[in-house]
Structure 1
C-alpha cells in the first residue's frame, strides 16, 4: 500500500469527529489540545511521551506497558485491565492532597490489584496503612528482610 504524504499544521482549529484509519502518524506534536473521548485502537505508541495531561476516567485494556515509567501520578479510581507491566516503574503515585483540583475530602475508592503477578517486584517507601492481602501466594514474601511465611508459621 502506497501512502500519500501530507504534513498538516492546525492552529485554533476544530477537527472534532475526524477519523484516521491505516495512517502512519509518527512524531506528531500536540500542544494545548482537547482529546476528550478520543478512541485509539490497535496503535503502536512505543516511545510516546505524555506530560501535564488529564487522563481521568481513561481506560487502558489489553495493553503492553512493558518498561513504562509513571511518575508524579494521581491514581485515584484508575482501572487497568489485562495489562503487561514488565519492568514498569511507578514513582510518586499519590492520592490528591487538600488544595489539589481533584481532592475529595470524603476519601477515595481503595486501590486494588486483582489477579496480578507482582512476583520479584519491590515496594519501597510506600504507605501500606490498612493494606489487606487476601488469597495470595506469599512464598518468599519479605518485609524489611523478614520472611512473612516464617512470621505466620511462628505465630
Structure 2
C-alpha cells in the first residue's frame, strides 16, 4: 500500500530554506515566493486537498499561520512555485494568514530568535469543500482540517535571521 507523500524541488525536510521564500514586510525583504509542492498516493475517498504552512516556533503563544489554501480539487497534485500569490487551481480558495493577507506569507522569524520550523502540509479531505467560512480564523481551519482529514503529509523546512 502506498503512503500519501509531499515532495518539493524547492524545500527539503530539515533543511534551511532559500531567501526566495522569505516574506517581504515585517522587517524582512525576501521575494515572498511560495515553494513548488507536489503530492502523490492520496488516501482512497479524497475529494479535495488543502495546503497549510505553520510556524510552531513563532513567539506568539499560538504559532504563526503563513498559508491556508482550501478546496483544491482532487484532480490537482501539485502547486507551482509562486502559486501563493494568486495562481491557484480553479475552485481553490485562500483564507487569511496571520499577516492578515489572503496569500502565501513567507518566513520572517525575529532576528536572533534562532531556528524556526515551517511545516508545509498537504491534507487529503473527504469533501470537495471544507465547511468553514472565508472569514474563519486559522485556528478554526486547523481544527476542521484535523477533524476531517483522511490523511496528511508534511515537509518541515527551517529558517532563521
Given the two structures, how large is their TM-score scaled by the length of structure 2?
A: 0.22
Larger RCO: 1 or 2 (CA < 8 Å, sep 6+): 2
Q: In proportion to residue count, which structure has more helix?
A: 2
Using structure 1 for the length normalisation, give the TM-score: 0.23
Larger C-alpha radius of gyration, 1 or 2? 1
